[in-house]
Structure 1
């Protein structure tokens, strides 16, 4: 069997979102799971809408997610000479022909067909046929080039997601493959690229299904067999609409900034259209071991941010404290905070209650910067009745050993001296030291905090 060669071919006409990046994940995973080659190709022929900023987000987003490419990025605008050479060969081989029908004539034809309840399509006016007289060539008009689509019969393929698909050739009109200025069109460029890059499997969104029969016919006209196709169902947003920029989709890189983990994103995205039994949480290595094209889903998948957060939380908990440190440090730096050697233990103490590294950094911040308790929590827990108890605790903490056992003993002795239960003391201490009444075990939290900061915050009551 020949080496698997897949590609991701985005158009840089806007930022890349999760619906787009899933179309990169599966071909990447298929190449990696089969020892194949994954190619990045930027389809930038839409000059008006393409931008370098969009290209940068594609490359940055893929790099963050670890979707590394083996070849590329290739840019279609840099391959124009190649396309024009193929076009010239097709013209010489009588596979394409010039068409001089104006836009106004095409519009009139379309209106006439729709009025007759016919499918709007080019009627072959300029297609040369034996014995057919073509209209006179109008002066000063540059023609488009149209592909001579086969007549009669069907174009068919066995889609790895949708199964057998057959389209009658008579349903397809003669496609424009070069504009009047000679620039080639999308469907033509794609075929030339896939041939030149020896693509064996095209794994892409099902919005391309209508392009596939046209592309297959161009492949065969050029004497090549088409690749295997897998057309992925749409990713819907939480409102059930197709995920898109217009419908509020976020750039992939925003999830990085919001504290999501790349392995968690890969895990979540993998499940938007593929499954391995009932497995919900898995590593990147497991995904690549399990992935194939036989378990791709046929129905549209719906994005659910709550589920994404849950998946992220599971991956966060599973990470070692040391592995979390650089990620949390980055988030702390955004808050103007520099961490120290305590950060691994802080991560270990708080990671079970966090779903993003941003949330974890917010907890860590209390160890490095001032806290501002919520007025309602202050009023509820730090009362006149508890202030003498806090003074006793301050005295005991001032000269005890600064470790968990000694701090726990100081708290216990303070409770005994005042005849109180743990929540009556723990809640006000948490509010004053950490800015919130809900934290992990009090002795563990205080041990990680600087003694002088603890004493100052308690005395400030």
Structure 2
């Protein structure tokens, strides 16, 4: 049997980081088992589904490298098939036409809530018996709905509008073994006669999901544990049609750093936001993989190992906690390993870098192999290379001015003369010349290094001075130093 997994997002917004993790888990499971990974766009909510959201899902998955093995399915296009199955369920007695109106359902719920309020008042007055009676009545009214039409009741007007409902099991339990949660189940009294077709004939999410999973041959469903209640309600549909159940793995949701449900205040953004902040897809995939799945104590897990090792037995039962420091740490590993030209190209696509001169880009390319180890994201990489841009004239301000004293500038002038005589403008030669200068002048590095760094970078973070001088090139480096020396002569 071929293993088939699926990711089935609703196109009502961006690709949430939790959705991205679900897609990753399903993709990895399929690859680990030489199976197929499918994508289904659940666009039955026509009012909220948008083309922009569909494209955001495609773009996010493509950026992460999570690509389906077939063309995407669009659930709304399969509505006729969903209706066909519902008709079969009516014919085999597992579904029925329900003429209960929305107004009647609302009145039932309102009456139940009113009785609960009355029960609280009865308790306050000391009438425990009356309170118990009211609570019982309230529980019956607010229990999962069982329609009076399920047993053959006829409407007063046969032409009245109706929905089609599942005839939920009358007794027993709905049970299954979940790859994460273990043996789980609910009493059938907790399952309602759920709506399969709305009054306008459109299929609901519940019937569409089951039919599509069956028709697509899905063998393993990995999704958030917030869908567990849906699974209990969907299993009777499988049973009604005599279809085999897929295996399920309901994964705990991602929580914020404070342990509470993830929300926008925690930074629950779409994956495109992390892309724009400068995370690499391999870094994001590695972080998401470890946010709910483990393989021993391994933290850095490249894609080939993830595919080799992934299985539902590694999924945890506790919610993962979003940790931005950890996310950066993992991404920093992949930044340090990334191809230099690739990092440069990603950097040059960003605002403020796209219009750089060829000279500036050349400096950055020459520095990338040494600079990238100092950054966790492409955004931080941009901060690290600022000193390589055309900054002249550099304005020395604040505390840095103390580094530009008369004595310090005189030393800098002497060092510059020696730089001009150097035939080899490379890190090793430049570093040696600075060291020789300090020895000849009988001064420590602290007497010349800060002044030289200020003149070259304006105080921007930068690595060893020999490297800075090499990357800037002879003309740019000497010109930046001259700018500072000229201020004194002026």
1:442 aligns with 2:461: no
- The separation in 2 between residues aligned to 1:376 and 1:141, in whole angstroms, is 81
**Distance in 1 of aligned mates of 2:291 and 2:396:** 40
Distance 1:346 1:81, change over 3 A: same
Once residues 234 and 392 of structure 1 are traced to their aligned partners in structure 2, the CA distance between those partners, rounded to angstroms, is 64
Which is higher, the Rg of structure 1 or of structure 2? 2
What CA distance in whole angstroms lies between the structure 2 residues aligned with 1:79 and 1:439?
Answer: 58
Identify which of 429, 433, 457 aligns with 2:452: 429
CA-CA distance at 1:394 after TM superposition: 2.0
SS at match of 1:123: coil
Per-residue Cα deviation, 1:232-279 (whole angstroms, up to 9, x for no partner): 101012343322447642110111111111111111101111001111
Using the TM superposition, name which of 191-200 and 75-84 deviates more: 75-84
Could you tell me how far apart the structure 2 residues matched to 1:64 and 1:273 are? 21
For structure 2, the residue ranges without an aligned partner over 5 or more in a row are 116-136, 485-490
In structure 1, the gaps of 5 or more residues are none
Counterpart of 2:127?
Answer: none
User: Any idea what SS the aligned residue of 1:213 has?
Assistant: helix
Q: Decide whether the 8 Å contact of 1:41 with 1:72 is kept in 2.
A: no
Kindly indicate whether residue 289 of structure 2 is the aligned counterpart of residue 281 of structure 1: no
Q: In the alignment, which of 381, 396, 414 is matched to residue 403 of structure 2? A: 381
For 2:446 and 2:150, how far apart are their aligned partners in 1?
Answer: 87
Residue 392 of structure 1 and its aligned partner are, at CA, apart by 1.6
Between the aligned partners of 1:181 and 1:374, the Cα distance in structure 2 is 72
- Determine the structure 2 residue equivalent to 1:214: 233
Tell me what 2:130 maps to.
none
Name the counterpart of 1:68: 67
Task: Measure how far apart 1:340 and its partner are.
Answer: 4.1
Task: Measure the CA separation in 1 of the matches of 2:146 and 2:351.
Answer: 64
Structure 1 equivalent of residue 143 of structure 2: 120
Q: Provide the secondary structure at the position in 2 that maps to 1:71.
A: coil
Q: Which residue of 2 aligns with 1:231?
A: 250
Residues 89-100 of structure 1 mapped to structure 2, 5 A cutoff: 89-100=88-99
Call closer, same or farther: CA 1:373–1:238 in 2, change over 3 Å: farther
| TM-score (normalised: structure 2) | 0.88
1:82 paired residue number: 81
Pairing 1:352-363 to 2, within 5 Å after superposition: 352-363=373-384
Provide the secondary structure at the position in 1 that maps to 2:272. helix
Please give the TM-score of this superposition, normalised by the length of structure 1: 0.93
Secondary structure (helix, strand or coil) at the match of 1:460 reads helix
SS at match of 2:385: helix
Aligned with 1:350 (options 366, 371, 383) = 371
Q: How does 1:317-396 map to 2 (within 5 A)?
A: 317-331=336-350, 334=353, 336-338=355-357, 340-370=361-391, 375-396=397-418
Instruction: Measure how far apart 1:67 and its partner are.
Output: 0.8
Aligned residues: 456
Displacement after TM superposition at 1:329 (Å): 3.3
Q: Which residue of 1 aligns with 2:123?
A: none
Counterpart Cα distance in 1 of 2:460 and 2:450: 5
Task: Check the 8 A contact 2:374/2:384 in 1, yes or no.
Answer: no
Structure 1 SS opposite 2:226:
helix
**Residues 1:170 and 1:409: Cα distance change in structure 2 (over 3 Å):** closer
Instruction: Please tell me the root mean square deviation across aligned C-alpha atoms, in Å.
Output: 2.0
CA displacement, residues 93-133 of structure 1 (integer Å, 9 cap, x when unaligned): 3321111111121112223344234143223211125xxxx
Residue 460 in structure 1 maps to residue 479 in structure 2: no
Kept in 2: contact 1:30–1:292 (CA 8 A): yes
Residues 246, 423 of structure 1: CA spacing in aligned structure 2 closer, same or farther, 3 A cutoff?
Answer: closer
For the 8 Å contact 1:25–1:266, the answer to whether it is kept is: yes
Residue 204 (structure 2) aligns with: 185
Higher helix proportion (structure 1 or 2): 2
Which one is further off, 248-257 or 61-70?
248-257
The 3 A distance-change label for structure 1 pair 125 and 334 is: farther
> 2: distance between equivalents of 1:39 and 1:137?
46
Match of 2:426 among 378, 400, 403: 403
